[in-house]
Amino acid sequence: MTKPATIHLKDYAPTPFTITEVNLTFELAEDVTVVTSELSFKRQTDATDQVRLNGEALVLKSVFLDGAVLSKSNYTLTDKDLTFIAPSDEFKATIVTEIKPQENTALEGLYKSSGNFCTQCEAEGFRKITYYLDRPDVMARFTTSIIGDGMEYPVMLSNGNLVSDTKLEDGRVKKVWEDPHPKPAYLFALVAGKLACVEDEFVTASGRKVALQIFIELGNEDKCDHAMTSLKKSMKWDEEKYGREYDLDVFMIVAVGDFNMGAMENKGLNIFNSKYVLASSQTATDTDFDGIESVIAHEYFHNWTGNRITCRDWFQLTLKEGLTVFRDQQFSADMNSAAVKRIDDVQRLRAAQFPEDAGPLAHPIQPQSYVEINNFYTATVYEKGAEIIRMMHTLAGPEGFRKGMDIYFDRHDGQAVTTEEFVSAIEAGSGLDLKQFRNWYIQPGTPEIAVEDAYNETSSTYELTFTQKNVKAGEGADPLHIPVAMGLLDEDGNSLLDDDLLHLTKAKQTFTFENIPSKPIPSLFRKFSAPIKITRNPADEKLGLLFRNDSDEFNRWEAGQQLALQGLLADVELYASGQALTGLSNDYTEAFGEILDDQNMDPAFKAEVLTLPSESYIGQQMKIVDVDAIHTVRKVALKSLGKRFETQLKSIYADLKSHNSMGARALKNLCLSYLVASSDDYLPLASEQYFSSENMTDRMASLARLVNSETDHRAEALQNFYDNWKEDQLVLDKWFMLQATSSRSSTMDDVKGLLAHPDFTMLNPNRVRSLIAAFAGANPIHFHNENGGGYQFLADRIIELNSTNPQIAARLVAPLGQWRRHNETRQGLMQAELRRILETENISNDVYEMANKSLSN
Ligand code: B3K
Ligand code: ZN
């Protein structure tokens, strides 16, 4: 194959011509869809007279320039673009193309899902609809006419406002939509089909009425309440927190079953994976409800951070994504428990972003180059990007940050800008100098911080010395500006100092604290004030004290995690050398018991605090991950905690049974998992919960306990679950996922068997994620089986998906890219599969880039 081209940030140049107006007409039909596009061009630079439009997988029917047909000899057509000479500085082009949405399995451009037409254009899907300058700095006003059979497609939607709805002479229906806001093509959307609509209304702060509409497949009308409530809360919150009002008369959300990601923020017409819209307590877990609230908010917030102000080019992706994730995190923290939300966000960062940043696919939040932009919708751009915005918020303080945001909106509304313009606005609003801080945008890797302390009794001074290093950033990389939120506690756990903020700016730096009466215990990086790893912490000897007393809830949780890790990692070593395990320290276990009995603690927070670090997080602490030892050691630890606190766990479980709140369910189900870990005698209790539960949270929590067992309870419950929910695709995904993540010995065969299940399809991304991604990403012992079967299974699926859905195929490569973290046997097997993937015939750019980088970087 010829190696695909790499695109570089340094090569950015504006287009010689831009497009100001777009008039699209879609004639929807079952065999071919005809797209007529009228574009108004206007010269911007003198670079060239050539106009080169992007276009892929299109059948070109005709081109007209200023009304005159352009003959074939006057344009050049390749499988990627259409080029012609501009007739003048301002002209109109009319281009007619044909496409076949019903054959589009890549789910990019215009495609069909359950018989309905829908689109996904970000990042470069619009070029699969028509020839266009498909890049975010070309912003035009769109008018969209949709023509089709009114019986087949009673609903026809596009961005903006509906301006006409007529019946044509031939009986077809024509609807015209006008979007007054200039936008890049990636925000274009079209939906047509038989859909039900749930409606509500929002009155903005300035008194304008906005119609809210959620479109779903018929029969799902009763599953939109939570999405609608979340939308109204988001609209209100953005007005109150950032002074941002919605700007059209209608806001529409469409839920579709086949979708590559979570959702898409198309102007005025968000398209969602149905997973992030549909919910009832019968079908969705508490985690699903939280997910809906945050994704609805995220897409809504994009209206200002992404749509009104968009990205100049795709290297600026974190400009809209990091910022919008930060905003949705703030929103969820305001709606729910802020501490629990922060813990969840950090766990997500550590689970997905830290490994990425430590592996072959590491990149700065502003990448410098890419082969396929879809591969850069990463945990780094999103989650680490959000952390970098959060640090600016911490440094500026809430008021300074808000002022900076106001300046950002004032200066750049209607523009396509860079991250530099964002940082400048925050500087202007806050008065901060962020010169050094900008390094966060260009350095990959997770900084490692080592801290040492010294106490001087005579002078009552305490010193903290920080050293920062970032291996991935390379030799000689500049130190980062790192905000360290911290406090000091005395030996009794009382606070000596709270809410201090240190600016760590040097490679090595000492901070001195005066008037400290006795040697303190530092609580560092409170609320996880920077996305770093601490490699040496003076508090390591005093984690039990912080676990019991830290007034910062995040650090209280963190102390518990670190204390548990100390014991778990020590046991992993003992296990590997064939010695008897010593188990979790008394310090941890005793604190665990005290916290379990604490009547005043929020149960949701308590459930977080009493959960042991995950297998994958334990693995991250090791140079070479010993998956089997980790699994066994963690299981033994769960069992011993379950046994030691059996009485309390049972009584809390019983007490909480009748409580109907999310926090109570989380804690109750944690108790159940400890009890089942303590002895199989509790499997009947799990089974009883499964059959008596009245909501999906409790049902899933109990079924998750049963699927690891070999008893009849397992088969019975799984069968019951299937029989009850086989018609509900989102619930059925859970059934596949639970079996894919089971620890029982036959799991690999079970998963292969499920591939042949009549309800399994490789064409639906949610189903692929629930079986294949879940197995590879969340079942370490089976995926990493030293017989190589797990790796081979994954590579086979990637090769299969390469031809139907390259984006989803590429997303599955990452687990194999972690080969350097495993023993030699596994390394060899994983590399062999990556090489086999690279030999795939007609390999997509998406998969090529991921597999190639995984092997070579
Ligand atoms: N902006 C979209 C993601 C598009 C991904 C394209 N491969 C969803 C979001 O982040 O809100
Ligand atoms: Zn986003």
What would the two tokens of residue 294 be? 């945050």
Answer whether CATH 1.10.390.10 is correct for domain 316-442.
yes
Boundaries of CATH 1.10.390.10 in the chain?
Answer: 316-442
Local structure of 405: helix, strand or coil? helix
Percentage, residues of the chain above pLDDT 90:
99
Q: Whose CA is nearest to atom 2 of ligand 1?
A: 264
Question: pLDDT under 50 in the chain at which residues?
Answer: none
Looking from the CA of residue 295, the nearest atom of ligand 1 is 11
Rounded to 5°, the CA angle 233-379-698 comes to 55
Whether residue 273 has its Cβ less than 6 Å from ligand 1: no
Q: Could you tell me the CA-to-CA distances from 117 to 104, 160, 688 in Å, in that order?
A: 11, 18, 44
What would the two tokens of residue 786 be? 């030293």
CB 799 within 8 Å of CB 341: no
Nearest ligand to residue 372 Cα? 1
Find the 591 Cα to ligand 1 centroid distance in Å: 42
In the CATH scheme, what is the code of domain 448-539? Answer: 2.60.40.1840
Strand segments, DSSP code E, in 336-481 are 369-370, 416-417, 448-456, 461-469
CA distance 745 to 731: 25
What single letter denotes the amino acid at residue 164? S
Specify whether 514 is catalytic.
no
Token look-up 């309870």 returns 713
Local structure of 123: helix, strand or coil? coil
CA distance 342 to 527: 7
Whether residue 264 has its Cβ less than 6 Å from ligand 1: yes
What would the two tokens of residue 805 be? 């859905």
Looking from the CA of residue 321, the nearest atom of ligand 1 is 10
Looking from the CA of residue 374, the nearest atom of ligand 1 is 7
CA distance 798 to 838: 11
CA distance 592 to 609: 9
Count CB atoms within 10 A of the CB of residue 47: 12
Whether residue 374 has its Cβ less than 6 Å from ligand 1: yes
> How high is the pLDDT of residue 3?
83
Q: Which helix (H) or strand (E) holds 287?
A: helix 286-301
Whether residue 377 has its Cβ less than 6 Å from ligand 1: yes
CA distance 807 to 321: 19
First to last CA, the chain: 20
Answer whether CATH 2.60.40.1730 is correct for domain 17-192.
yes
Radius of gyration of the chain (CA): 28
Find the 742 Cα to ligand 1 centroid distance in Å: 31
Instruction: Give the number of C-alpha atoms closer than 13 A to the C-alpha of residue 665, restricted to the C-beta side.
Output: 18
What would the two tokens of residue 367 be? 């990448």
Whether residue 321 has its Cβ less than 6 Å from ligand 1: yes
Out of 122, 217, 299, 615, the active site residue is 299
Buried b (16+ CB within 10 A) or exposed e, 391-411: bbbbbbeeebbbbbbbbbbee
Neighbouring residues of 68: CB distance < 8 A, sequence distance ≥ 6:
none
Boundaries of CATH 2.60.40.1840 in the chain?
Answer: 448-539
Q: Whose CA is nearest to atom 7 of ligand 1?
A: 374
Looking from the CA of residue 325, the nearest atom of ligand 1 is 10
> How high is the pLDDT of residue 1?
65
